[in-house]
Chains A and B, each alone.
Chain A
Amino acid sequence: MKFLCIPCDRVMEFAERQLPGDGTMAAVFACGGCGREVAMLTNPMETQLVSGLGIKVGGRTVPEQPLETAVSGMKAGRADAFADAPVAAVGVTWSEDAKERLSNVPSFVRGMVKRIYTDWARENGVAQMTPETMDRARTELGLEGM
């Protein structure tokens, strides 16, 4: 899929991705010639289909997690399928609101999601995860549905 700026006859470049958290996705593409921007909006089904391919629109920004499609795509998985993996949580705390939001993530995928968020916080110098920083991380990392 590409977007062509017809007046400039240039292929628009990926600029930004937003994940509102309702299963939809917005990907912004910009023309390097005139600066015009367009937003591609996908519905939840389209977003999920792309997710099933193991592909991230605009490219991957976080290292792939093992068995990512299986774990994030299943409706109900085994909570203790994975042996406890050490989460590099040093220096990162979670607010009560963030903990509550994390608790809404299905238990079998929660460990993986927490690990991704925590790694992002450490890399970005974020000391505490809050719902706001979770939103930021989700958008930056392209964590559809997390």
Chain B
Amino acid sequence: MRKFRTYGDVAAPEAEKDVVGQVVAQIEKLAARLAPVKRIIVVGSGKGGVGKSVIAANLAAALADRGLRVGAVDADLNGPTLARMLGAARERIRVDNGAAVPPEGVAGIRVMSMDLLLESDTAPLRWRNAGERAPDPATGDPGFTPPEFLFQSTFEAGVLREFLSDVAWGELDALVIDAPPGTDKLVRLLQLLPRLDVVLLVTTPGEASRFVVAKSIRLVQDAGANCIGIVANMTSHVCAACGHETPLFQDDRTAALASDAGVEVWAELPFDVRLATSTDNGRPFVLQDTESAVALGFRRMAERIEGTENGRVEGTENGFISRGGAEGAENGFISRGGAEGAENGT
């Protein structure tokens, strides 16, 4: 067998400008774009249908209502709803100085969502299929359509990166990111972010949700976040007439989920039909009925989030709660575990 040098023998940093250099530049651009953002808040779950987007929209609105400058990213590319919920549906994106300027929704919240790019409210997200070959009856070629899953995740990761790095977010007090359902997509999002200041995982009291969210908590902890909160949604029903509160689930295991994982329950939100109805129509409920039990829950979460800045929680002894912002990191994007002195974010 002939002997010649292999990739590992010839690879050198100065020779990596083609591919690795471009990837590093992407990472650095993203870190620089998010550097002026004081707090990055991910609202996820892993489970679908638990109310993540409604909670993300209302949390963003509650933060803006406190006078904070807020941005919102809809990371659910295939089921985008955040632009509509924040009153920015069908708004247009401007391009200025090489960046996309996001439209503003209610309370001045800057929004970026795939909703703004899809041709209609009902249009699914599909990708160009460059490998498609039409049938040719003359030759008997049956044609070939490569399945979209071959490149779907690559494009989705690229678009998510662009939503964070190509958008002129400017100086924000808080950037709320509505994560897509699915634990795998949650992890992909977390790996993309230079810092994890606060991760809120939404659950419902049911067992099915609990198990999925338990997996998400472990994945989020593995990603290096240690400011993790649980938001229990639809825990009870409050009678609009008499105010009597009735649990919606016989056995609420939210507290057990939290204690088993060593995280806190940040909020328990009762079921209120007005929450979804109002928010779905571009009017976050937290701004409509500020005295309701649900609104109170959001206001408390917003107040708590305002107490965190640059990865620190006011009053904590150990300071840093995230991967980012560690002393010695040059661009704020450091390796998992927050190792000090990371130079290029890889």
Contacts and interface: CB of A to CB of B under 8 A. Distances in A.
Contact of B128 (A59, A60, A66, A145): A145
Contacts of A94: none
Contact of B116 (A4, A79, A81): A81
A79 B10 CA distance: 46
B4 A4 contact: yes
Contacts of B19: 1, 55, 57
Contact of B117 (A44, A52, A70, A145): A70
Interface in A34-82: 43-45, 47-49, 52-60, 63-64, 66-82
Contacts of B5: 4, 9
Contacts of A57: 18-19
Given A11-B10, A44-B130, A56-B22, A73 B159 contact: yes
Query: Quick one: which of B17, B116, B130, B151 has the most chain A CB within 10 A?
Result: B130
A38 B100 CA distance: 39
Given A2-B11, A11-B15, A45-B130, A66 B167 contact: yes
A73 B129 contact: no
Nearest to B19: A55
Nearest to B152: A52
B4 A9 contact: yes
A60 B23 CA distance: 12
A85 interface: yes
Query: Quick one: which of A6, A52, A57, A72 has the most chain B CB within 10 A?
Result: A52
Contact of B17 (A6, A54, A59): A59
Given A1-B19, A79-B119, A6 B2 contact: yes
Contacts of B158: 52-54, 69-70, 73
A131 interface: no
A9 B123 CA distance: 53
Contact of A54 (B22, B129, B146): B22
A112 to B, nearest CB: 8
A14 B18 contact: yes
Contact of B7 (A2, A6, A63): A2
A82 B92 contact: yes
Contact of B118 (A45, A52, A77): A77
B10 A54 contact: no
B166 interface: yes
Given A67-B162, A76-B119, A83-B92, A55 B22 contact: yes
A73 B155 contact: yes
B131 interface: yes
B178 to A, nearest CB: 17
B18 A66 contact: no
A74 B119 CA distance: 10
A83 B158 CA distance: 23
Interface of B: 2, 4-5, 7, 10-11, 15, 17-19, 22-23, 26, 92-95, 98-100, 114, 116-120, 123, 125-132, 146, 150-151, 154-155, 158-159, 161-163, 166-167
A-B residue pairs, 6 tightest by C-beta: A45-B131, A44-B130, A69-B158, A75-B126, A52-B154, A48-B130
Given A14-B18, A66-B98, A82-B92, 16 more contacts: A2-B7, A6-B4, A45-B130, A45-B146, A45-B150, A47-B130, A48-B130, A49-B150, A54-B22, A57-B19, A66-B162, A67-B93, A74-B128, A76-B126, A81-B117, A108-B119
24 contacts: A2-B15, A9-B4, A23-B130, A45-B150, A49-B151, A53-B23, A54-B22, A63-B98, A66-B99, A66-B166, A67-B93, A67-B167, A69-B159, A70-B162, A73-B159, A74-B117, A74-B128, A75-B127, A76-B118, A76-B119, A76-B123, A77-B117, A81-B117, A82-B95
